Structure 1
Amino acid sequence: MVHAQDITIDSIPLSLEDAWKKAATFSKELKEEQLKTNISEAHIKDAKNQQLPSVDLEASYGKLSNIPIFVNGIDHDAEFIHLEDHSVYDAEVSTYFNIYAGGATKTAIKTAETRRELQDHITAETEDQLHLEVIENYLNLQRYYEFKELIKQNIKQNKERVRLITQLFENGVVLKSDVLRAKLQLSQQQTQLLTINNNIVIATQSLNIIIGNEDNTPIVPSDSIQLQSIGLNKEYQKYVASTLKQSPLEKMAEKQIELSELKEEALKADKLPKIGLFGNYTYSYPQIRLYPYEQAPYLMGMAGLRLSYDLSAFYHDKHKEKAAEIEVEQQKVAKANVEDNLRKQVKTAYSRFNEDLVKVQVSEESISFAEENYRIVDQTYFNQLSLLTDLIDADTQLLQARFELVNNKIAAKLHYYQLLKISGEL
């Protein structure tokens, strides 16, 4: 847990929940996925609009030249038919309403909707991944602040030891080498503190970038590293079942299969007949569609039923259909591979978390042993019954045991959150 002396006046206490909320608001990755969702929704509306009648408007205006007639062949001069009016114009409105197209329109709508659902799962996976990234950086920053507090306490203790050993040396009780060794250890720990401070600066920048702060904004984790708030409430097999049911990666794989099956359906629809109602209304000049021709404007309307059948689809789409059929099988294999990887990840995170809990317990016991060992060696050294090297070793072992406890608690939290992420519960 971060102590009050680590928090400067300008430091911003930050909880993990607040860090996640800020990251969710700032994240460019999430904004990109949200824009992709908007695109998917537009594609659904576009596919549904294909159910509406199509209406075309076409108009033209031009001038005709006098018409040359080569009575004696093109080797001789032509005789011209002189037109009284050289104008030609046309305006036409046509419409088509699809009645049946082999289910192509419904398939297109279903494909657009499935792509939208796939995008929802991609967005969920992006959110989970971002959440885990925030957690990793937050826990990393917690680790360094805990290390800083431990090393500061150790430096304070060692400064007092150097003072006492210096007094012993001045009184002729110990050798000069003991003073030098004590000072050397103190110097090494001060260097270690410098490294930890730099690690805090780097970790702070990493977290600031994710949550949208300025790089150098001073933040201090306010959450405790204690493990009382976390724990596994299900057995391994139940986590596996939850993962295969809720994981965005599993749902993405399912939607990929659906899309490949819809692609196969769309190709089959190409080989079916298409039936629709059509109509057009034309205003033209001159009247040259019907005989006898007239140099006068005219109106013509037509409506009816249109049937079309693309025979070439039988050989044009032959290999496309085979490729689509193979793609369905490929996506099913890909889904099985995703499930295998998810089960492995669940097993790893589940096992590591339980392992970390044991390590935490062992570390706590190790600290008790190391503290007692340090107390004994410290007394015997100042009673001239042991060497300074024994005291330095005992001090180092105690500090290392405390570091290990912090590392194991951080690891337990990380593996816990990884398990939640994999199982779709983060």
Structure 2
Amino acid sequence: MIRKRVITGLLGCIGLIPLSAQQQKALTIEELFELADTHSKSLKVHQLAVDEAIQAIKVAKNDRLPSLEASLSFSYIGDGWMSDRDFSNGMKAEMPHWGNNFAFKATQAVYTGGAISTGIEMSELQKKMAEAELDNDQQNVRFMLVGHYLDLFQLHNQKRVYEKNIEQTRLLIKEIESAFEQGTALKSDITRYELQLKNLELGRTNVSNRIRILNRQLVTTIGLETNTEIFPDTTLLSMNLDKKNELHWQNERNNAPVMQLADLGIQMSERQQNLIRAGRRPTIGLMASNNFDGPILIEVPPINKNFNYWFVGVNVTYKFDSLFKNNKKLKQAKLATLKAQESKRLADEQLSNGINAAYIQLEEAYTRLDTKEKSVQLAHENYEVVHSRYLNGLSLVTDMLDASNIQLSSELELANAQIGILYQYFMLKKTVGTL
């Protein structure tokens, strides 16, 4: 008996483990964004791209520094062989066998036609593009999370609606059972509402499972433990939304990441033209060199001595082939710039249309909410009237079922309409890049 009690107690504790391990956490949208900024793998990739671009600027600036080279070598020199020009009268020529060489060379670019400065500018533009892509990805991640968050909020609302209707249906079943005992109701009336109750419970189960699936997607994205159960902010629906007017949102579109990327694309194409033009200009640099060689092999016979010499000077280089090669490259770069400009105009047009659509849908969401609130009010009044008539034997059970279904449908639609306003508002903010 003692062993049986111990085993039973252990099984009871084991059964409680999943419940105790489940962590419940209430999150606001701001807290959701903070967690995403810290743990989102997508944002981490783009942040590394920004860091890489910052390092690329430092690398590009290195081209302004002098170039220093040094070399040291030791060699074994074999004996030489001399002959007449017709290869007759050949003879062996003794050579010093051990050779050495040490060379040091320094060069400093003075003028490169703007190639170095243009390269640095392009690296800086690459950094800005990486930052704009980070901002754009952040907006996408935040909007995705907001969508999940609002869906979760909506599902919790639906679950509460189902639970309310389940409780209401159970009370109604008790009333019908009481009426059946008094002979004023049919057994089929009870059966119909028991079937209605099962359908409501099945709907609640479906909603609960969708909550679990969506919750898992949300917590893995923001870096929380998979056993964390997120509850949306209950004050979300009372959020004071300043929808402003469409002109305000249209004026904000120039700050959107997609427009910043389009502007940077044009600037990058223009810098590419400058780089090609730099290739058509001469380059000028200072140079200094010191050489320490031995033996001296340019004399015959060779002189087995070390010879040191140095020089300083100016190096001027001009690529004559750039006169006919770079013209085609420059024309290609100009076409790329025109393409980037057209892409910006297209992006601006699409963004403007997107803002217009989002704003119209936001206004429609407000209108839908007013309609659904009135529908819920009328559905409740209808249910109370039908309920009273049914208890007094003035209506059929089918009328009660219809009234219950209308009430459930209107309450679910109201919950969706409330979330729909928030969704459209956040869609508008995401479109202009201010989410």
Establish whether TM, by shorter chain, passes 0.5: yes
Match of 1:296 in 2: 305
**Deviation of the 1:206 alpha carbon:** 1.2
1:281 aligns to what SS in structure 2? Answer: strand
**Deviation of the 1:176 alpha carbon:** 2.2
- Matched ranges for 1:10-409 at <5 A: 10-71=23-84, 78-83=90-95, 85-233=96-244, 235-244=245-254, 246-288=255-297, 294-409=303-418
- Give, in whole Å, the separation in 2 of the partners of 1:199 and 1:237: 39
The alignment yields a C-alpha RMSD, in angstroms, of 1.9
- Give, in whole Å, the separation in 1 of the partners of 2:235 and 2:217: 20
What percentage of residue pairs aligned between the two structures are identical? 25
Residues 273 and 289 (structure 1 numbering): CA distance in 2 closer, same or farther, change over 3 Å?
Answer: farther
**Deviation of the 1:184 alpha carbon:** 0.8
Amino acid at match of 2:93: I
Match of 1:3 in 2: none
**Deviation of the 1:154 alpha carbon:** 0.5
CA contact (8 A) 2:139 2:430 kept: yes
CA contact (8 A) 2:22 2:229 kept: no
CA contact (8 A) 2:57 2:124 kept: yes
CA contact (8 A) 1:227 1:413 kept: no
**Deviation of the 1:231 alpha carbon:** 2.5
- Give, in whole Å, the separation in 2 of the partners of 1:287 and 1:339: 72
Unaligned 5+ residue runs, structure 2? 1-20
Amino acid at match of 2:130: Q
Unaligned 5+ residue runs, structure 1? 1-7
Match of 1:4 in 2: none
- Give, in whole Å, the separation in 2 of the partners of 1:121 and 1:262: 18
- Give, in whole Å, the separation in 1 of the partners of 2:367 and 2:31: 30
**Deviation of the 1:149 alpha carbon:** 0.8
- Give, in whole Å, the separation in 1 of the partners of 2:71 and 2:313: 20
CA contact (8 A) 1:204 1:216 kept: no
Q: Deviations over 1:12-69 (max 9, x none)?
A: 2222211111111111111111111111111111111111111111222211111123
- What number of residue pairs does the alignment pair up? 415
CA contact (8 A) 1:91 1:283 kept: yes
- Give, in whole Å, the separation in 2 of the partners of 1:66 and 1:289: 14
- Give, in whole Å, the separation in 1 of the partners of 2:301 and 2:241: 93
2:423 aligns to what SS in structure 1? Answer: helix
Q: Deviations over 1:202-238 (max 9, x none)?
A: 11101101111122312211343424421313x2122
Q: Which stretch of the first structure deviates more once superposed, 27-36 or 189-198?
A: 27-36
**Deviation of the 1:91 alpha carbon:** 0.8
- Give, in whole Å, the separation in 2 of the partners of 1:298 and 1:69: 24
**Deviation of the 1:183 alpha carbon:** 0.8
CA contact (8 A) 2:266 2:337 kept: yes
Amino acid at match of 1:275: I
1:231 aligns to what SS in structure 2? Answer: coil
Runs (4+) of structure 1 exceeding 4 A deviation are 70-74, 289-293
Residues 385 and 290 (structure 1 numbering): CA distance in 2 closer, same or farther, change over 3 Å?
Answer: farther
